[in-house]
């Protein structure tokens, strides 16, 4: 019995660069180890643990990093980090940082997991979600710095915090535009 190319492809766990759709090519130097296109979200999720592929490291480091920061969010106590008194604002600025790290890491884990999906629209949406996660973490990591750096300058703090929100939002607006996901805009 001779199998068609599509039937042979379904039996393989990983495929080569030449066997993936052209729109999934991100690097011409990674030649093997790509997951075959998955017809369902379930297939993508099963590939997290089923076998080793190009995205295994990305998925696991981001997934477990997100879980670790989730643990920190609920267990970190700012009062133990200093000998002085702390307020709810101290907890809030660290919570913003931890929450932004969780969002970034888990959105990246989701992107790398769903990168195997056969739908260009799903992959494109997840790619934008991954970039938004990076922007959220970049912005969220500024708040502890701004709060403690400008503690005695509330107007300066408000200016920098507002600027951070504005620039982060503007950046997110740009990166979710599908035209910026084209290879001509990727550095």
Q: Residue range 169-176: average pLDDT?
A: 91
Q: Residue range 62-89: average pLDDT?
A: 85
Task: Tell me the C-alpha distance between 129 and 148, whole Å.
Answer: 30
22 is in an annotated binding site: no
Which pLDDT does position 152 carry in this prediction? 94
How do residues 94-114 score in pLDDT, each as one tens digit? 899 999 999 999 999 999 999
Between residues 35 and 12, the one the model is more confident about: 35
Q: Where are the domains of the chain?
A: 56-185
% residues pLDDT > 90 (the chain) = 44
**Partners of residue 35 on adjacent β-strands:** 14
What pTM, to 2 d.p., does this model score?
0.84
Which pLDDT does position 120 carry in this prediction? 85
How do residues 36-54 score in pLDDT, each as one tens digit? 888 888 988 998 988 889 9
The pLDDT of residue 123 is above 70: yes
Q: Residue 4: pLDDT band by 50, 70, 90 thresholds? A: confident
């Amino acid at each position: 019995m001779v199998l068609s190319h599509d039937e042979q492809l379904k039996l393989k766990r990983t495929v080569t660069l030449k066997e993936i759709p052209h729109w999934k090519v991100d690097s011409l130097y990674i030649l093997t180890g790509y997951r075959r296109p998955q017809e369902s979200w379930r297939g993508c999720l099963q590939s997290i643990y089923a076998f080793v592929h190009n995205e295994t490291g990305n998925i696991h480091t981001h997934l477990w990093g997100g879980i670790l920061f989730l643990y920190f969010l609920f267990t970190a106590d700012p009062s133990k980090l200093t000998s002085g008194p702390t307020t709810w604002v101290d907890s809030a600025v660290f919570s913003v940082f931890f929450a932004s790290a969780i969002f970034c890491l888990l959105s990246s884990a989701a992107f790398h997991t769903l990168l195997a999906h056969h739908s260009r629209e799903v992959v494109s949406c997840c790619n934008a979600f991954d970039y938004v996660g990076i922007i959220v973490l970049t912005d969220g990591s500024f708040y502890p710095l701004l709060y403690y750096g400008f503690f005695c300058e509330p107007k300066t703090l408000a200016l920098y915090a507002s600027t951070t929100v504005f620039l982060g939002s503007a950046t997110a607006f740009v990166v979710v535009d599908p035209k910026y996901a084209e290879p001509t805009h990727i550095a």
